[in-house]
Structure 1
């Protein structure tokens, strides 16, 4: 794959950046997946990335925001990564598909309902596995896990009308078993010669034709501030829940309100995942609990066991979707963290050696747990919590707009007004209370409810976003209710698509990355099918959709 680094390029070297069939903006999980799927086709593709192959302060400062809503993560590096590979640099590797109910129109959740169902996405969950370093792409997030992993499921089970099992799978990078998948690490070697990766290319706007109803070109700046124009009829925005909305709003040279914004929906319905502790367990009495709802190993990947609210209780009590799992706080002298640092070549001597020696019994037991029993490692804990993460109610007033403040390229910053509603803490409090009752009935250690849960209060100030900005270019086949259609094409603008969590109409309780990649694969198939109408069979014969 050709690579052009604008910070090092002369005018002659970048002369090829004048025209292409398809421009992909952003090289994170969505953008890199689409580029790989469309490799070795007859399409000429330019992949624009604002950052470079290493993190830089010059790129980081472009993620500055103006926040006027609920407190969010201050360090934007935790939310957006301007670097080849995008947010795969900071994600926690936790994957899972959404639940069937997440796609449904729910009378108690305003603006809910996708123009897709889970059956239409299931094949793409399977195809997402090699892109995300997963042992399997589907069939692992519910009771099917036990059969898949060849394990006996626990005899003690909660009432299925109240709680259901849920399993998250942790990604594993195919070049480093101690890291989650970093999609930028070998991107250049995994993409065909028809794709040109351009780093240091910060997109300023997308310019449409005179009518505003089709894409004409993309304007982007090199690090020195020079503006360039790339002519193309097709663009896929893969910039995340904040930047994709911002770029559509900034693309106002023909349509004053921005592209795809005929109905004032771009930037609205901003959602995230409220997450935090709802209670604690006695660490000294936790071994049985940690075996029952713990971490398991299958095909080299780790799977975390947890619980989710059943569809029945969601409907009966008007709740959002919500999940819970054990949150472990390890001590500074945990021997396994010490061993990881040593294996990664970043030891802290003599402390790490002392931690392993002082906790030899735990260390030996862990070897049996991990290699023979195929469980997670027993950790030395400070505390053991029940952590929850819940869906948000879609709200048009929770949104991204444009600030009056400018970045160094003269573009208006995103102005974020993220809102929390009583539905979210009520859902999480109810989840905690149900778990507490069910655990007593099952003979498991008692859950001590957090004060805010016990008192029926709202979220503590510490409950901020978890870097899952979602919903700002929501999907609907009704152009008065969404920004993109079921194929992720922006309503009213031919050739303009959006990929990523910004198209989710609802956010579910689960981490979004596997859903992002599944939808990116589906969009890549759509783009390839469109290309087949214009490309000859001999040109298409060299195409591949196999993940390298």
Structure 2
């Protein structure tokens, strides 16, 4: 059942076994996993079925440095489906090394084994509509699939790992019918959780307060409450709920909002591959079940440990789009159309202050490259715009065998990279956030070490040559600051209450019936985009709650007078 929260009587109290706050990938996956277990589930979503400016503005806040981090109301969507309404669909699991305690990586180590997480990846893959859980090229594409590079054989630099791509699946649209028909799930749209009220001793949640933009107010009493509101909003709600816990819930040791991570990313260097361009698999390949897949380069775990490197991957990429010297009509067309592209993707096309000469050179590229431009537009229309499973991104024919490397890497957690509350409030009276994202010299050195090892192995094998500017590496990586909407680590899990907010079951240490789902609980960020792993962790939490809340007497999910 899906209802408008304004239909709930003012001052009412709703009862449920589990109340999930947030209707994005984590919240929807969790609710679906709980369905059919004899529990009554209530799912609260702040937004509706589409964009709504006043609701989106509830995300507004401050950033310490707008060159390092986008405003908090960007890269996130406050509506059913959350940010899956705008994501690119990239699905990648974490690696086993990501969960390890690594002496060279501060605050590393997850309080669970990799096998515990891996058990939930196949179902997460299915929910994301990314096909089978196969992320090795030979397994996914078959033993006859050509390698990424024909003559590159290295035990240090791996080229057989894959990214798989969702449709991309909008969870709000894709699973709306299941949520609507499930007899044990009630979804309330336009329902903003504005406070978590603890009982007097602070050891359990008494009620959740809910407010709508229209002014309706009601309460939720649940046996378990789960925050699935993303890495930023989870910290905001915990910190703002301070009537009993004066420093904020779960914040006895000033950890909530700290250790905030994104990813270190940027286009770097020039890789010139020897041989015929057709022997480089730089584009998308299609698995037998019709899933777009793409290869990438990564450093073998034993080499990461030996050299003390963060986990980083590299994708083959085209030259910088904003520089017309690439003489490519398609890239120049993207530059000229950047104001028509959504913020999430246009940001990296707004590099510097282009002059009239720059525009003229881009225009000349388009005019002088009509065949490739026309072929690209035709392909984009048929395989992206009109296709149900969309071609993931721009891929261009490469005649020169020269590429830049698109780097995407883990950052070292640091306590002073954080989000905190400010005095200003939103339309509901909630304190707004200030985002102070910081990276470390170690992050840049790990990128440098990774690039050096890749360059060494290309030279050793004779497969090609990688060059990059060591003096401008940090500038190249930080040109656009923190990467995208990957908000990680603000309510991190761990066994030590002094450096973590939740335990291995994602339960807030100090509150027995309060849980967190999503990338806020990740202790470290990996090289991987977070979506697939946060879905897997949500499914794991669903299994835990199903066992913990074994049905007792049936509880009607209906409003009663306060």
Give me the TM-score of the superposition, normalised by structure 2. 0.81
Greater RCO (CA < 8 Å, at least 6 residues apart):
2
- Give how far 1:100 is off: 0.7
**Does 1:151 pair with 2:170?**
no
Structure 2 counterpart SS, 1:18 = strand
Task: Check whether the contact 1:141–1:168 (CA below 8 A) recurs between aligned residues.
Answer: no
- Give how far 1:78 is off: 4.3
Task: Check whether the contact 1:470–1:507 (CA below 8 A) recurs between aligned residues.
Answer: yes
Aligned residue in 2 for 1:486: 504
- Give how far 1:314 is off: 1.8
Aligned residue in 1 for 2:3: 4
The count of corresponding residues between Structure 1 and Structure 2 is 501
Aligned residue in 1 for 2:194: 204
CA distance in structure 2 between the aligned counterparts of 1:95 and 1:361, rounded to whole angstroms: 25
Task: Check whether the contact 1:335–1:359 (CA below 8 A) recurs between aligned residues.
Answer: no
CA distance in structure 2 between the aligned counterparts of 1:56 and 1:336, rounded to whole angstroms: 31
For residues 333-482 of structure 1, what are the structure 2 equivalents within 5 Å? 333=330, 379-380=396-397, 384-450=403-469, 452=471, 459-482=477-500
Task: Check whether the contact 2:60–2:71 (CA below 8 A) recurs between aligned residues.
Answer: no
**Does 1:297 pair with 2:297?**
no
**Does 1:166 pair with 2:185?**
no
CA distance in structure 2 between the aligned counterparts of 1:228 and 1:74, rounded to whole angstroms: 33
Aligned residue in 2 for 1:140: 135
CA distance in structure 2 between the aligned counterparts of 1:474 and 1:140, rounded to whole angstroms: 26
Match of 2:261 among 268, 271, 277: 271
Cα gap change, 1:275 to 1:333, in 2 (>3 Å): closer
CA distance in structure 1 between the aligned counterparts of 2:455 and 2:299, rounded to whole angstroms: 13
Listed one character per residue, the Cα deviations across residues 307-336 of structure 1 (whole Å, up to 9, x for unaligned) are 112222222222211110112368554899
CA distance in structure 2 between the aligned counterparts of 1:24 and 1:375, rounded to whole angstroms: 31
**Does 1:195 pair with 2:191?**
no
Listed one character per residue, the Cα deviations across residues 360-401 of structure 1 (whole Å, up to 9, x for unaligned) are 69989xx9xxxxxx9999625798421101111111111111
Match of 1:227 among 197, 213, 217: 217
Aligned residue in 2 for 1:319: 309
- Give how far 1:523 is off: 0.5
- Give how far 1:81 is off: 1.0
Listed one character per residue, the Cα deviations across residues 421-443 of structure 1 (whole Å, up to 9, x for unaligned) are 00111111222222223223334
CA distance in structure 2 between the aligned counterparts of 1:311 and 1:224, rounded to whole angstroms: 53
**Does 1:511 pair with 2:522?**
no
Cα gap change, 1:152 to 1:360, in 2 (>3 Å): closer
Aligned residue in 2 for 1:71: 67
Cα gap change, 1:355 to 1:334, in 2 (>3 Å): farther
**Does 1:182 pair with 2:170?**
yes
Aligned residue in 2 for 1:103: 99
**Does 1:26 pair with 2:22?**
yes
Task: Check whether the contact 1:327–1:386 (CA below 8 A) recurs between aligned residues.
Answer: yes
CA distance in structure 1 between the aligned counterparts of 2:44 and 2:14, rounded to whole angstroms: 13
Match of 1:115 among 111, 114, 120: 111
CA distance in structure 1 between the aligned counterparts of 2:131 and 2:475, rounded to whole angstroms: 40
Unaligned runs of 5+ in 1: 173-179, 338-350, 368-373, 540-548
- State the Cα RMSD in Å: 3.4
Cα gap change, 1:68 to 1:39, in 2 (>3 Å): same
CA distance in structure 2 between the aligned counterparts of 1:445 and 1:319, rounded to whole angstroms: 23
Task: Check whether the contact 1:307–1:324 (CA below 8 A) recurs between aligned residues.
Answer: yes
Aligned residue in 2 for 1:46: 42
CA distance in structure 2 between the aligned counterparts of 1:377 and 1:481, rounded to whole angstroms: 41
Structure 2 counterpart SS, 1:233 = strand
